[in-house]
Copies of this chain bind each other. A is one copy, B any other.
Amino acid sequence: MLSIIARSFHPRLRMAAFHTALGQLAIQPIASVDHPHANSPQAWRDALLASSTSPKDFQLIKTLVYKPKTAKSATPVPVVVVARDETETSSSAIGKALNLKELRLGSEDLLTEFFGLDKNSLSPLALTKDNFSRVTTVIDSTISSTVAPLAVHANSSASTIFLSGSDILKYLKSLETDSTKINELDFSNLAAAAPVVPDGQAAKPAAKEKEDARIEGAAQIAIGVKKEVDFASWYTNVLLKADMLDYYSVSGCYILKPWSFSIWEAIQEWFNARIKELGVQNAYFPMFVSQSVLEKEKDHIEGFSPEVAWVTRAGQSDLEEPIAIRPTSETAMYPYYAKWIRSHRDLPLKLNQWNSVVRWEFKNPQPFLRTREFLWQEGHTAHLTKAEADTEVRDILTLYRRVYEELLAVPVIEGIKSEKEKFAGGLYTTTIEGFVPTSGRGIQAGTSHCLGQNFSKPEMFNIFVEDPENDGQKLYVWQNSWGLSTRTIGVMVMVHGDNQGLVLPPRVASIQVVVVPCGITAKTSQEERKRINDACDELAKELSTKAGIRAKADLRAEYTPGWKFNEWEQKGVPLRLEIGPLDLAKQETLTVRRDTGVKKPLPLSTVTTTIPQFLETIQQDMFDRAKKTYDERIVEVTKWEEVVPALDNKCVVAIPWCEREVCEDEIKERSAKGAEQTDERAPSAGAKSLAIPFDQSRWSPIVAGQTKCPNCGQDAKRWTMFGRSY
């Protein structure tokens, strides 16, 4: 009966009811926000960050409902767990603590029956006097002491109120009866006590450790959480505090602010100059693709169709046919390649465009790495011979590697993708694979595809010329396509950033050097103050005009030097120069490296030569350090037993692989954690093949018919990198 009441209770009435309940308890929400429906924690966080009404710092509260194993005839008593989103809530540990067997996440039916809500709308406020006694309630013991505002859904996934931890506890306590009490659990202890998971996996970082991630007293001036402990929050915080990005009101889309967009401009400028040397010209094709054209290549569209955004209406009129927004432009461009390429003299045709594409992913979005609209360049070329196409594929891949290594100071490895991982509809895909040490995951950093004749063949786009070498017979052109996106920026942030914030490689920093006046106190005379400020200003100007350095003097009177140091550190400016009265007396400036923190005085007289060299040293050091880490984390493995421990140890493995797709599927399955998945962001996914590196020489030679694949025991072909990945 009660369940029927719950279901028939209109959301607005329910909302009014709990507002009344909160009111009776004298609980005043810190803020309340309406937003788009959020179907994941990330989407929810995005929606709140996009709202200007949200408090500056907040944490999400998750509400999970578990069903214990119950005799079929008995009424189940669900376990409702209220915890901070980042708290690791192991169901087996909860079961152990409550002496309940086989806790499983409750079905949607169960949620509807007990709360009349779906899982995205659940919150502690879904507990009421009506249902409280029919469930077991568990609350994360750290909540009552959490200072930051806590976000809870107001019985809708599109509505949030912010409460203090003590008010949440107060509300839940108000529901208690003599027979039904809430259970406060210390999840960090539970996690420590949890049984070791199979496969030799190390215990997951516990909530205690997460708690440590928050850096004491650093909320305003540094990143607030430690990179090594709560990487996801650290990443978001770095992007926001470095002023690179803001969240946007359409989920999965982000605003690129000048501080990050200027990096993209630096990449554009460099890459444009290089491809022009290869004879590539820039063009622009429309963002719209008609349905029939989009769906022409079957394998290709299968790869993209679940993510295509469709325009169906213009003004008040429905379009006769829906029109797609390009997820990539192969099928949009190639009908015109067929039209334009009439003779072998029209080859090679090499076009590139800088544009945005849309892939409406339903997975959790992540700024720069997985967004619904993203900026990239896409090159599309057609050639007379396969050899020419092959050469270009590698030329472009090399340019991509150089963008990462020479501009972003991020090491990558060139290789080829497995058949399973190659571009849908293409012949083969080459890739540069990056690595994020903190998460131990590989990341696809850029791809250059040879499409072969798959798109040019007669039943596809029919792009041919008369073969000049072969009596004018029809020759279907060889095609390539290649793309590099703003993902570059995300990888750079993840690899180089630290607990003070962003660390920019000098070559892409829009400000390479900041000059800060120091040693000015209340006692400093007006003249002295001016002398120091002028010296700073002059130094910045000298570096700009004489050495081509992007330098800025920060002469703002309203901020202390310490405040400025922190701001520019958060923003990742590679080098800080300080000038105080003593420096000026010695005609020196104190240099402070962002990447290492090392301080060193330099004579002012030679800055126009020493500083450019210094920046190059920083650039090289950043790359070398990252390269060393990547190299150390590629573990040569020949026995299966060593694969998962290596992955758990935040490494990628290189195995001598048979290159069979069925084996790849097995490896993915075997390397996934057998344990339950309460947290969808847990780093427990199976390993994918990342790349078959072109340079095989770094590993022991594979002996044909002798070296075996560690998974299936069949003959190994080439060393292949496998890893968890983005």
> Could you tell me the distance between the alpha carbons of A284 and B285 in the complex, rounded to whole angstroms?
19
Judge whether B37 and A320 touch: CB under 8 Å.
Answer: yes
**Contact (A250, B286) CB under 8 Å given A36-B320, A312-B310, A312-B313:** yes
Once A249-B290, A339-B246 are accepted as A-B contacts, the answer to whether A285 and B255 lie under 8 Å apart by CB is yes
> A257 in the interface, Cβ–Cβ < 8 Å?
yes
A697 contacts the other chain (Cβ, under 8 Å)? no
Would B335 and A287 count as touching, CB distance under 8 A? no
Given A282-B262, A306-B316, A310-B314, check contact A253 B288 (CB 8 Å): yes
Contacts of A286 in B (CB 8 A): 248, 250, 253-255, 373
Q: Which of A232-266 contact B (CB under 8 A)?
A: 246, 248-250, 253-258, 261-262, 264-265
A398 located at the interface, meaning its Cβ lies under 8 Å from any Cβ of chain B in the complex: no
A281 within 8 A of B: yes
Is A356 positioned at the interface, with any CB of B under 8 Å from its CB? yes
A336: Cβ under 8 A from any B Cβ: yes
B282 touches A265 (CB 8 A): yes
Chain A 20-43 residues near chain B, CB threshold 8 A: 36-37
* C-alpha spacing A622/B355, complex, angstroms: 33
Question: When chains A and B are docked, how far (Å) is the Cα of A178 from the Cα of B492?
Answer: 84
Contact A315-B360, Cβ < 8 Å, known A258-B283, A320-B36, A321-B36: yes
Residue on B nearest A305 in the bound complex, by CB:
B315
**A663 at interface (Cβ–Cβ under 8 A)?**
no
Chain A, 330-361, CB within 8 A of any chain B CB: 335-336, 338-340, 345, 351, 355-356, 358, 360
A604 at the binding interface (Cβ < 8 Å): no
Contact with B along A693-718 (1 / 0, CB 8 A): 00000000000000000000000000
Cβ-based interface call for A375 (8 A): yes
Min CB–CB distance A709 → chain B (angstroms): 36
Asked whether A325 is an interface residue with its Cβ less than 8 Å from the other chain, the reply is: yes
Q: How far is the CB of A312 from chain B (nearest CB, A)?
A: 5
Smallest CB–CB gap between A570 and chain B, Å? 16
Residue in B closest to A264 when the chains form the complex, CB atoms: B284
Are A281 and B258 in touch, CB under 8 angstroms? yes
The docked-state distance in angstroms from the alpha carbon of A313 to that of B307 is: 10
The smallest beta-carbon distance between A93 and chain B, in angstroms, is 36
**Distance from A272 Cβ to chain B, minimum over Cβ atoms (Å):** 9
Q: A246-B339, A250-B289 known; A312 and B312 CB under 8 Å?
A: yes
Contact check: which of B52, B265, B293 meets A339 at CB < 8 Å? B52
Q: Is the CB of A351 within 8 A of B312?
A: no
Tell me the nearest residue of chain B to A358, going by C-beta: B287
In chain A between 261 and 316, which residues have their CB closer than 8 angstroms to a CB of chain B?
261-262, 264-265, 281-290, 293, 305-316
Q: Interface size class for chain A?
A: 35 or more
Enumerate chain B residues within 8 angstroms of A601, measured Cβ to Cβ. none
> How many angstroms between the C-alpha atoms of A345 and B325 in the bound complex?
40
For the complex, what is the distance from the CA of A205 to the CA of B261, rounded to whole Å?
53
Chain B minimum-CB-distance residue to A335: B52
Kindly list chain B residues whose C-beta atoms are within 8 Å of the C-beta of A335.
52, 249
- Does A475 have its Cβ within 8 Å of any Cβ on chain B? no
Q: A250-B286, A289-B250 are in contact. Are A314 and B307 (CB under 8 A)?
A: yes
Of B36, B265, B284, B373, which contacts A255 at CB under 8 A?
B284
The reply on A322 being an interface residue by CB < 8 A is: yes
Contact, CB under 8 Å: A351 / B258: yes
For A264, list chain B residues within 8 Å (CB).
Answer: 284
- Interface contact B290-A250, CB-CB below 8 Å: yes
A314 to B251, CA, bound (A): 13
Contact A309 B314 (CB under 8 A): yes
Are A281 and B262 within 8 A (Cβ)? yes
Q: Are B314 and A311 in contact (CB under 8 A)?
A: no
Query: Counting CB contacts under 8 A, is A575 at the interface?
Result: no
A323 near B: Cβ within 8 Å?
A: yes
A455 nearest CB across to chain B (Å): 14
Give the residue name and chain of the B residue nearest to A282 (CB).
B261
Partner of A309, one of B285, B311, B351, B373: B311
Complex-state Cα separation, A37 to B321, whole angstroms: 10
Q: How far is the CA of A373 from the CA of B326 in the complex (A)?
A: 13
A36 is contacted by which of B37, B253, B290 (Cβ under 8 Å)?
Answer: B290
Add 15 more A-B contacts to A249-B335, A311-B325, A313-B322 (CB < 8 A).
Answer: A52-B335, A52-B338, A255-B283, A256-B284, A256-B285, A261-B282, A261-B283, A265-B282, A287-B356, A309-B314, A310-B313, A311-B312, A312-B313, A314-B360, A315-B360
Chosen A-B contacts, 30 in total, with CB atoms closer than 8 Å, are A36-B320, A36-B321, A52-B335, A52-B336, A246-B339, A246-B340, A248-B286, A249-B293, A249-B335, A250-B286, A250-B290, A250-B323, A253-B286, A255-B285, A255-B336, A257-B283, A261-B281, A261-B282, A261-B283, A262-B281, A262-B282, A287-B356, A288-B372, A306-B315, A307-B314, A309-B313, A310-B314, A312-B312, A315-B360, A355-B356
The 6 closest A-B CB pairs, nearest first, are A314-B360, A258-B281, A253-B286, A306-B315, A52-B339, A256-B284
